[in-house]
Structure 1
Amino acid sequence: MTDTELATKAPESDAQETTPSAAPATSAPRLSDHCTSSRPTPAGQSGTGEITTLGDIDVYISKPSDYPHTPSKLLLLLTSGTGIRSVNNQIQADRFASEGYVVVMPDLFGGDPAPNTGNMMADEPTTPGSFLDTFKIKAAETAKTFLIDMWLARHTQEKVLPIMYKVIDSCKDEFADAVSTGGGIYAVGYCFGARYVLLLGGERKEMPAWQGFSWASPTSAPQDVEADKARTVGPFIKAGALAHPTMVSPEDFVGLKAPVTVVAVENDPMCPDEVRMGLEDYMSKNNVEHEVQVYPGVPHGFAVVGEYDDVNIQSAQSTAFAQMLKWIKEH
């Protein structure tokens, strides 16, 4: 791939943790159509896994064809707002499964995917319309923004994190062999789900959302601290990969420990440059092993399975998958 920006840092054992500098305020939208709608599904393809329950949470599970006869690792796949019933998300999970991972894709939204979830039509050129047409389009956009804001209010960090903790806890029982094979749990996330890779990869003060969570994990355990101080928990994953994250703030970087690779979009309004650069700066200063690759000329959401006519986007999609796969395989 051409014109990409790559930054890799190795951790040092005696690093001093610092806090990230505050990112400038931004009025950018929090979700785009690529976060709430799927591209047309590749012809002739469909999900090969199954939707079941794990810890009372609906999940899509995809396994390698030779599992459990051949050892496999456990991978969480955290989706955009389109959720686990999106065929494209299922195909994405299947692709990781074909590479030797037991993939668990949890329903982060309790059966309530983002408004207007469905297939996006291929991009068509727009032509100027009448004032009434323009008014109707603006009204529809305003209504959609309102619906998405209401949806986001229903799916806050306080609601989503406990879902993931239940699934992680259940995975340690249901797929103990895969967790043991990988020496922990891996995670990849797209759009909405990408932010939660950062949260799962961090060490943070214990919050009410963690109540009832089992700490018998190869990757995390509570630390003994003074009685008057909150104990810390995490990281919950061994390594992570995230693609075109949305709604990330500097507070999400604090405590990050797990090595991560980031697929970023150049000039992405969903993840402004100052946020991405703030994350890079934090990881560098705190010696968190990381890799950030910026892809020019592609839309937000491009790394998720879906048809694009532009061969450059098609190539970037393949390159992004290879980047994420290589990272988790090497860690």
Structure 2
Amino acid sequence: MTETSSAKPEYLAQPPGPCCWAGTLHQGSPRGDVEDILGAPTYIVRPSDVKGSPRANGHVVLYFPDVWGLSVNARCLMDGLASAGYTALGIDYFRGDPISKYRASKDDPLPPGFDLGAWRAKHLAFATETVPRWAAAVRERFAAELRAETGTETRFACVGYCFGAPFVCDLLAGDDVVSAGAFAHPTALKEEHFTGLKKPLLLSCAENDHAFPPESRRKAVDVLQREGKVYHLQLFQGVGHGFAVKGDPSDPYQRWCKEQSLRAVVDWFDMWLVRSSS
């Protein structure tokens, strides 16, 4: 399969392809715990779980992972959100069946005969059906829990990477779940994902992204401008798809890009959840 062989013209960000498999597995010791919410393993980390974190700000970030699922990379990113004061929850809509399961190392291709279409269809069907109910269940539980702890209104945001980007846009098109969202190196986005937005969106993008190439990125921005949406575009030169989750931390520039992307996500959520409520 080539990066564009299954692409359809209506996509701005193409469905997952070979650029999504690559990356570096990071070292780390995630601080959260996993529990089941509506049949989906869910990683939950609170500011109190991460040493040196500030007092909880009372707000929640929903995390939608890339095709590596709830890898150590993803969990450490969520720990980073917790270290900024947010309670973070990440859904494993692959249920222990991420694409990395089928490769002996990060540099290996998928095995001969692997049916990528079937793999994606299976997990996309579960995610599409489960994510709205999961988000509603998380909101109901944690809005009450955190309000009891902090005495303030709890607001919700969402962030998605690669496979997770469409779920961010879907929630931002609603009225009552999240106040803001962000994605990095997205896949499987169509124009309607941008025209339907009702809440602010941060786009953290790579210059060299086969799934979201420059012409598609520019068209997406044109749509956002034409429709008067609230957005911010962040563009990193010289990096590719996956940089915000799977960049090589031994390369100083890749590490900086990854960390700067997370800083921007935190600052974006601080703007719309913390500063706008004060």
TM-score after normalising by structure 1 = 0.69
1:19-98 equivalences in 2 (<5 Å): 30-33=15-18, 35-36=20-21, 39-42=24-27, 45-65=28-48, 70-84=56-70, 86-98=71-83
Q: Which moved more, 1:261-270 or 1:299-308?
A: 299-308
- Residue 103 of structure 1 deviates from its aligned partner by 0.5
Instruction: Establish whether residue 161 from structure 1 lines up as the match of residue 128 from structure 2.
Output: yes
Contact 1:36 1:116 in 2 (8 A): no
Which string of whole-angstrom CA distances, capped at 9 and with x for unpartnered residues, describes residues 104-125 of structure 1? 101112332225367525xxxx
| Structure 1 counterpart of 2:95, from 110, 120, 144 | 110
1:120-139 equivalences in 2 (<5 Å): 120=106
Match of 1:199, as an amino acid?
D
Instruction: Establish whether residue 243 from structure 1 lines up as the match of residue 184 from structure 2.
Output: yes
Which string of whole-angstrom CA distances, capped at 9 and with x for unpartnered residues, describes residues 49-83 of structure 1? 0111123321010111179x744211101100111
Instruction: Establish whether residue 175 from structure 1 lines up as the match of residue 146 from structure 2.
Output: no
Distance 1:276 1:142, change over 3 A: farther
- Residue 142 of structure 1 deviates from its aligned partner by 7.9
In 2, Cα distance between the equivalents of 1:182 and 1:270? Answer: 38
In 2, Cα distance between the equivalents of 1:277 and 1:28? Answer: 11
| Structure 2 counterpart of 1:278, from 207, 216, 219 | 219
In 1, Cα distance between the equivalents of 2:105 and 2:161? Answer: 17
- Residue 267 of structure 1 deviates from its aligned partner by 3.3
Unmatched tracts of structure 1, length 5 or more: 1-22, 122-136, 204-218, 221-235
Which string of whole-angstrom CA distances, capped at 9 and with x for unpartnered residues, describes residues 184-203 of structure 1? 32001111112221121114
Distance 1:75 1:240, change over 3 A: same
| Structure 2 counterpart of 1:147, from 112, 115, 128 | 115
Distance 1:280 1:178, change over 3 A: farther
Distance 1:303 1:27, change over 3 A: closer
Match of 2:24, as an amino acid?
R
- Residue 281 of structure 1 deviates from its aligned partner by 1.5
In 1, Cα distance between the equivalents of 2:41 and 2:110? Answer: 31
In percent, how many aligned pairs have the same letter? 28
Distance 1:178 1:275, change over 3 A: farther
Query: In structure 2, the residue corresponding to 1:297 is in which secondary structure?
Result: strand
Query: In structure 1, the residue corresponding to 2:243 is in which secondary structure?
Result: coil
Contact 2:58 2:87 in 1 (8 A): yes
- Residue 26 of structure 1 deviates from its aligned partner by 7.5
Distance 1:296 1:118, change over 3 A: farther
In 2, Cα distance between the equivalents of 1:147 and 1:34? Answer: 17
| Structure 2 counterpart of 1:325, from 254, 266, 272 | 266
Query: In structure 1, the residue corresponding to 2:244 is in which secondary structure?
Result: coil
- Residue 34 of structure 1 deviates from its aligned partner by 5.7
Unmatched tracts of structure 2, length 5 or more: 1-7, 273-278
Match of 1:170, as an amino acid?
A
